[in-house]
Amino acid sequence: MNKRMPHALFALVTAGLLVTACTPATKENKIADPGTAVSGTVELWHFFTEREADAIDSVVKDFQAGHPNIKVTVKSGQDDSKVTQAIGAGNGPDIGLSYSTDIVGKFCASGAWVDLTQYINRDKVDLNQLNATTRSYTEYDGKRCAMPFLADAYGMFYNKDLFAKAGIDGPPKTLDELAEDAKKLTVRNPDGSLKTVGFLPLYDFYENSASHLAPTVGAKWLTDDGKSAVGTDPAWKTLITWQKSLVDWYGYDKLTKFRAGLGDEFSADNAFQKGQVAINIDAEFRLAFLKDQATNLKYGVAPIPTADPARYGGGYVTGNIVGISKNAKNPEAAWELIKYLTTDDAAVIKLSGLLKNIPTTTKAIADPTLNSDADFKTFIDIFTNPNSSTSPPSSSGPAYQDTFAKFLTDFQAGKVKDIDAGLAQADKQINSVMTLGG
């Protein structure tokens, strides 16, 4: 019996099914004329749960009160991979709300989230009310497929009691001061091991990542033609040399041993909250934890130190993002909701108050209630400071960051002997891994 024919046929049919299954129907996105009444149902997927999901629900309720013809279904706890798979399968929510900016590159490039420019132009939405950084991480390759939904700003927390004890007046403003203060604040045990650390410079510790530290030196990840810049931008070399010298001062093994005994970042045992680390890089959400879990800790907040005093005042900025999927059944209503969530000042202020993240519109940023908390205001100022930067979107998501992180892990452990050669190789590897996207 000729067994080969049926097998070949089977393979062909399967492949055919696959291709049709995965070929998304290209929708002709015709948008309505300005002023048309919008109605219908809209489905919104987001990643929040519990109390934060309730916050979203309450704002959505406000929206529905103002738009009685639009009904919104909300599904919580849906992360990026769920949204990706749903869209890939031809389903998907009308609106997706993502935790990070990692997917912007891919979703814009592939059209998974539609280009919102037509809607923006039609409804004359003023994009300048959103600060430049948030605009940069919600568009890719000329397509604006997302809008920023609240933001996070990273600054520096410092322990005022430990500072007083070590005789330091105020927070460090430059990298050199940071290293100096870190050394002054460090206390060792009789056997030489570390007891209190001024600043723990290890890259994989809590929020210390290359991205979060880049604003200290104004380092650029990508060149203008989208290639890796880590080997060519001298700022990176400045940063990592500074970090390495501090690591060596502590002793890498002693640091890792100390770090191993520290508590989880988001538990009540957070090392900064327990006074084991005097200076820590963290974002505005840390404020809520401090109020809850470390009421006795006298802390201060400041922008992160910089190598060049002229660029002091900023920090790292990122945020949640929201977009309309290409399979949206009701894109018009979806746009109305997104417009409300991201540009309606009252809504943004309310969300910022509930979720304790940074608001993104100019008016919301100036809101007196949000600014009444001096610490929160510091973060708002970091957010608006022109020296703040973010990680550029890429069609391969966080691949470039992960690849550089691998180099940094080896570098801080002392495994890289020739820094220039190492950086050049990192360039090569990053460029190679980025070809996975696009």
Q: Which residue in 4, 34, 65, 81 binds other proteins (CB under 8 A)?
A: 81
Instruction: Write down the least CB distance from residue 103 to other proteins, Å.
Output: 8
Q: Interface with other proteins by CB under 8 A: which range of 170-178, 337-345, 358-366, 407-415?
A: 407-415
Q: Does 25 bind other proteins (CB under 8 A)?
A: no
Q: CB-wise, 24 or 40, nearer to other proteins?
A: 24
Q: Does 166 bind other proteins (CB under 8 A)?
A: no
Q: Is the dihedral of CA 75, 146, 222, 129 positive or negative?
A: negative
Q: Which of residues 190-229 bind other proteins (CB under 8 A)?
A: 203-206, 209
Q: Which of residues 278-307 bind other proteins (CB under 8 A)?
A: 285, 289, 292-293
Q: Does 187 bind other proteins (CB under 8 A)?
A: no
Q: CB-wise, 294 or 307, nearer to other proteins?
A: 294
Q: Does 353 bind other proteins (CB under 8 A)?
A: no
Q: Which of residues 29-48 bind other proteins (CB under 8 A)?
A: 45, 47-48
CA distance 223 to 227: 5
CB 217 within 8 A of CB 236: yes
Q: Does 392 bind other proteins (CB under 8 A)?
A: no
Q: Which residue in 9, 32, 268, 421 binds other proteins (CB under 8 A)?
A: 268
At 101, list the tokens. 């900016």
Q: Does 263 bind other proteins (CB under 8 A)?
A: yes
Q: Does 19 bind other proteins (CB under 8 A)?
A: yes
Instruction: Write down the least CB distance from residue 334 to other proteins, Å.
Output: 17
Question: How many amino acids of this chain bind other proteins (CB under 8 A)?
Answer: 81
Q: Which residue in 59, 70, 74, 106 binds other proteins (CB under 8 A)?
A: 106
Q: Does 245 bind other proteins (CB under 8 A)?
A: no
Q: CB-wise, 11 or 164, nearer to other proteins?
A: 11
Q: CB-wise, 265 or 373, nearer to other proteins?
A: 265
Instruction: Write down the least CB distance from residue 312 to other proteins, Å.
Output: 27
Q: Which residue in 38, 120, 125, 405 binds other proteins (CB under 8 A)?
A: 405
Instruction: Write down the least CB distance from residue 277 to other proteins, Å.
Output: 11
Q: Interface with other proteins by CB under 8 A: which range of 19-27, 33-41, 60-68, 310-318?
A: 19-27
Residue 369 CB neighbours (<10 A)? 10
At 235, list the tokens. 């700022």
Q: Interface with other proteins by CB under 8 A: which range of 83-91, 160-168, 310-318, 360-368?
A: 83-91
Instruction: Write down the least CB distance from residue 398 to other proteins, Å.
Output: 6
Q: Does 126 bind other proteins (CB under 8 A)?
A: no
Task: Identify the residue whose tokens are 């696959």.
Answer: 18
Q: Which residue in 107, 119, 154, 157 binds other proteins (CB under 8 A)?
A: 107
Instruction: Write down the least CB distance from residue 40 to other proteins, Å.
Output: 20
Q: Does 75 bind other proteins (CB under 8 A)?
A: yes
